[in-house]
Homo-oligomer: A and B are copies of this chain.
Amino acid sequence: MANIKAYAAHDSEADLEPHNIERRNTKDDDVKIEITYCGVCHSDIHQVRNDWNNSQYPVVPGHEIIGRVTETGKNVEHFKEGQLVGVGCMVDSCQHCKHCKNDLEQFCEEGAVMTYNGPDKHLGGHTLGGYSEQIIVNKEFVLDIPDNIDTKAAAPLLCAGITTWSPLSHWNVQKDDKVGVIGLGGLGHMGVKFADALGAEVVMITRSPEKADDAKRLGADEVLISTDQEQMSEHQGSFDFLLNTIPVGHDLDPYIQLLSIDATMVLVGAIEPLEEMHGGGLIGGRKRVAGSVIGGIKETQEMLDFCGENDITCDVEMIDIQNINEAYERVVNSDVKYRFVIDMQSLKK
Seen from chain A, the residues whose Cβ lies within 8 Å of a Cβ on chain B are 99, 104, 107, 170, 261, 264, 267-293
Instruction: Establish whether residues A278 and B288, one from each chain, have CB atoms under 8 Å apart when the complex forms.
Output: no
CB nearest neighbor in B for A283: B291
With a CB–CB cut-off of 8 A, which chain B residues contact A170?
286
Instruction: Establish whether residues B293 and A283, one from each chain, have CB atoms under 8 Å apart when the complex forms.
Output: yes
Number of copies: 2
- List 4 other contacts, CB 8 Å, given A107-B261, A264-B288, A267-B279: A283-B291, A284-B291, A285-B291, A286-B291
With a CB–CB cut-off of 8 A, which chain B residues contact A293?
283-284, 286
How far does the Cβ of A89 sit from chain B's closest Cβ, in whole Å? 13
With a CB–CB cut-off of 8 A, which chain B residues contact A267?
279, 282-283
29 A-B pairs in the complex with CB atoms less than 8 angstroms apart: A264-B288, A268-B283, A270-B279, A270-B280, A270-B283, A271-B279, A272-B278, A272-B279, A272-B280, A273-B278, A274-B276, A274-B277, A274-B279, A274-B282, A275-B276, A276-B276, A277-B277, A280-B291, A281-B291, A282-B289, A282-B290, A282-B291, A283-B291, A284-B291, A286-B291, A286-B292, A287-B291, A288-B288, A289-B290
How far does the Cβ of A312 sit from chain B's closest Cβ, in whole Å? 23
Q: How far is the CA of A287 from the CA of B289 in the complex (A)?
A: 9
CB nearest neighbor in B for A275: B276
With a CB–CB cut-off of 8 A, which chain B residues contact A285?
107, 291
Instruction: Establish whether residues B291 and A279, one from each chain, have CB atoms under 8 Å apart when the complex forms.
Output: yes
Q: How far is the CA of A104 from the CA of B291 in the complex (A)?
A: 26
Q: Which of A99, A283, A293 has the most CB of B within 10 A?
A: A283
Instruction: Establish whether residues B289 and A288, one from each chain, have CB atoms under 8 Å apart when the complex forms.
Output: yes
With a CB–CB cut-off of 8 A, which chain B residues contact A289?
282, 288-290
Q: How far is the CA of A271 from the CA of B276 in the complex (A)?
A: 11
With a CB–CB cut-off of 8 A, which chain B residues contact A104?
261
CB nearest neighbor in B for A274: B277
With a CB–CB cut-off of 8 A, which chain B residues contact A286?
107, 170, 290-293
How far does the Cβ of A107 sit from chain B's closest Cβ, in whole Å? 5
With contact pairs A99-B261, A276-B273, A276-B275 given, residues A288 and B290 touching in the complex (Cβ less than 8 Å): yes
With a CB–CB cut-off of 8 A, which chain B residues contact A99?
261
With a CB–CB cut-off of 8 A, which chain B residues contact A290?
282, 286-289
CB nearest neighbor in B for A290: B288
How far does the Cβ of A90 sit from chain B's closest Cβ, in whole Å? 14
How far does the Cβ of A223 sit from chain B's closest Cβ, in whole Å? 26
How far does the Cβ of A98 sit from chain B's closest Cβ, in whole Å? 9
CB nearest neighbor in B for A272: B279
How far does the Cβ of A252 sit from chain B's closest Cβ, in whole Å? 10
